[in-house]
Chain A
Amino acid sequence: MGELKLMKGNEALAEAAIRAGVDGYFGYPITPQSEVIEYLMAEKPFERTGMVVLQAESEVASINMLYGGGGTGKKVMTSSSSPGISLMQEGLSYLAGAEIPCVVANVVRGGPGLGDIQPAQSDYFQSVKGGGHGDYRLLVLAPSSVQEMSDFVPLAFDLAFKYRTPALIVSDGLIGQMMEKVELFDQIPRLTDEEVIKRHPWATNGKPKGGERRILTSLDLDPHKLERHNWHLQEKYKTIEENEVRFEMLHCEDAEYIIVAYGSSARIAQKSIQLAREKGIKVGLLRPITLWPFPKKPIDELTKKGVKGFLSVEMSAGQMIEDVKLVVEGRTKVEHFGRYGGVIHSPEQVLEALEQKLIGG
């Protein structure tokens, strides 16, 4: 068993970055995730593993440091919260276009604009529909516990490198600030320079002797060539959709109603389900772990099985519900419930919404 610790989600993410063998972290302070860079600076990972930690002058700089660093085949990471992630959208589009692996963590807070610093899930569209320009997707993982804040870091890197694409870890202020028990995984050694060169022949770390130079770019002025590049990207996204969907189902076997919720909302919903079952209402939880690719299949199967309705519970005005509806296609009821702007719904409010919107209505 790994080392057991009581940690904040933000700290677990930072510790996991060190242990995952990350080569470089580049970030800019923003509440509610400043603990990530604070933890890294205090832990001196440059002494532990040789990992570089740099406070950038802005999130625009951070994401472009990931472009440069990721382009050399090294493991690079940043984290921020909503306003900072918005600033990174341009960079993410370039990273996706140039197929550069990296991990970006968003500890979401209330918006739009400067919003507030309380937990929210209102960056769903931005995360899964491509907040930047062009036809691209990001791999999006949504941890719902401090444990997953740790576990998803190496997972995100594995996926990012497997598909040469940026991966996003989307949590929120609640998971970032909450402390829970974490079992830390053992140190994964950083790759040596030789290993990086061998594993990632696409990376720009010096033209191989007698070999071809590598170019990392998202530009192609020939529309036909650019279309071909886009086809290649779409093929890749299709493979990801086929292979990388992750989700969790709780109490769905006998469920008449299903709550679809991710991250903190999924935790809150678990309590609602407990309360509902105490009242004899059969409710289950479908928790998307990958927000993209979205778990379409289990929703389709539950629909076919004849569940009486889905409640999409999100701390937003209703974003993920659109993806649920795309699968259900009108075959059964789909409703949304959630508080937002930094307000967290209570388990009781979720239950009430379930009773009013699905059972009563």
Chain B
Amino acid sequence: MSEITLQDIIKPENLVYKKTSLMTDKALSYCPGCGHGTTHRLIMEVIEELGQENETIGVAPVGCSVLAYEFMNVDMQEAAHGRAPALATAIKRLWPNKVVFTYQGDGDLAAIGTAETIHACNRGERIVMVFINNGIYGMTGGQMAPTTLPGMKTATSPYGRDIATMGNPLKMTELVATLPGTYYVTRQSVQTPAAVRKARKAIKKAFQNQLDGKPGVSFIEVVSNCNSGWKMEPVQSNTWMEENMFPFYQLGDLKVDGKLIDK
């Protein structure tokens, strides 16, 4: 029996999966099991598929994905905490034919950047906003986010989020869906292959909207895990997310082609 070498295996006809060239070769800085990496890949795959590699400008947030520009192989700007939609607004206004997106966490998009988020959505900027909701501030060591669930323990809600004093979790996606300036609003997840396929479709639709010059923001929330911040194993964090986050943050489209979906 002759020995099989690597060269025998690595052949075009055996290729079942290839990393998009729009992801750099840098090792991801995310904790193993974290949803950030998968979402990065989906965005880059879509941009590659749509042939927009040289037409795209992305805006990275402050949060665990602050280094998104290290991994996404397109032109990128790094914004101050919460301000990505303002940067993206100006980029798109000055380069209307380019593809512009922001990538933001819940602290970034729904706390410090609430004003920028609401107003970019309300003005109907023709951009894509990807919103990673992991219910916590991952980057700074697991403090409470606006999206933290009631009773959920974090570094700044060590006895659980107390609604009476800390407020309710903010459903930013429902909120922006009510604004006339949003064109497509959807909530997805990336914890299983099926979910990944769905999320990819949604991201593609969002970018296609922008390419087609559709009026308004295409807004994609990805409900994600933060195994480190939640102090769980990756698999356990996904189960916890399915059991606790999904009932509160229900998956699916909220607004399609500028029309609210009746649920």
Which residues on A are within 8 Å of B, measured CB to CB?
Answer: 28-31, 34, 37-38, 41-42, 44, 46, 54-55, 57-60, 83, 113-114
Contact = CB atoms under 8 A, between A and B. Distances in A.
Given A114-B66, A114-B80, A57 B156 contact: no
Contacts of A60: 112
Contacts of A34: 140-141, 143, 155-156
A123 to B, nearest CB: 16
A113 B62 CA distance: 11
B158 A31 contact: no
B80 A83 contact: yes
B112 A28 contact: yes
Given A41-B157, A55-B166, A57-B146, 13 more contacts: A29-B141, A29-B143, A31-B141, A34-B156, A38-B143, A38-B155, A41-B156, A41-B158, A44-B159, A58-B82, A58-B112, A59-B112, A83-B80
A54 B111 CA distance: 14
Contacts of B155: 29, 34, 38, 41
B170 to A, nearest CB: 9
> Closest 9 CB pairs between A and B?
A58-B112, A29-B143, A57-B111, A29-B140, A42-B158, A38-B155, A41-B156, A55-B156, A34-B140
A58 B111 CA distance: 7
A31 B78 contact: no
Contacts of B157: 41
Interface in B111-160: 111-112, 114, 137, 140-141, 143-144, 146, 155-159
A39 B104 CA distance: 27
B81 interface: yes
B66 A31 contact: no
Nearest to A61: B112
A84 to B, nearest CB: 8
Contact of A37 (B80, B156, B159): B156
B221 to A, nearest CB: 18
Given A38-B155, A41-B156, A41-B157, A57 B141 contact: no
10 contacts: A28-B112, A34-B141, A37-B143, A38-B155, A38-B158, A46-B165, A54-B165, A58-B82, A59-B112, A114-B66
A83 B140 contact: no
A41 B141 CA distance: 15
Given A57-B111, A57-B112, A57-B114, A29 B156 contact: yes
Interface residues of B, number: 22
A113 B137 CA distance: 20
Contacts of B82: 58
A41 B165 CA distance: 11
Contacts of A44: 159
B143 A83 contact: no
Contacts of A38: 143, 155-156, 158
A49 to B, nearest CB: 16
Interface string B71-85: 000000010111000
Contacts of B137: 29
Contacts of B80: 83, 113-114
A270 to B, nearest CB: 32
Contact of B140 (A31, A42, A46, A114): A31
A67 B129 CA distance: 33
A206 B156 CA distance: 33
Interface string B226-254: 00000000000000000000000000000
A88 to B, nearest CB: 12
A112 to B, nearest CB: 11
Most chain B CB within 10 A, of A46, A58, A83, is at: A58
Nearest to A46: B165
Contacts of A30: 140
Nearest to A84: B81
Contacts of B112: 28, 57-60
A34 B81 CA distance: 16
B140 to A, nearest CB: 5
B263 to A, nearest CB: 28
Contacts of A31: 140-141
B143 to A, nearest CB: 4
Contacts of B111: 28, 57-58
Contacts of A28: 111-112
Contacts of A58: 81-82, 111-112
A300 B166 CA distance: 52
Nearest to A41: B156
Nearest to B139: A31
Most chain B CB within 10 A, of A28, A29, A38, A114, is at: A29
Contacts of B158: 38, 41-42
Contacts of B143: 29, 34, 37-38, 55
B144 A55 contact: yes
A131 to B, nearest CB: 16
B164 to A, nearest CB: 11
Contacts of B165: 46, 54
Given A29-B140, A34-B141, A57-B114, A83 B156 contact: no
Contact of A114 (B78, B114, B159, B166): B78
Interface in B161-189: 165-166
A15 to B, nearest CB: 16
A114 B159 CA distance: 31
A167 B140 CA distance: 26
Contacts of A37: 143, 156
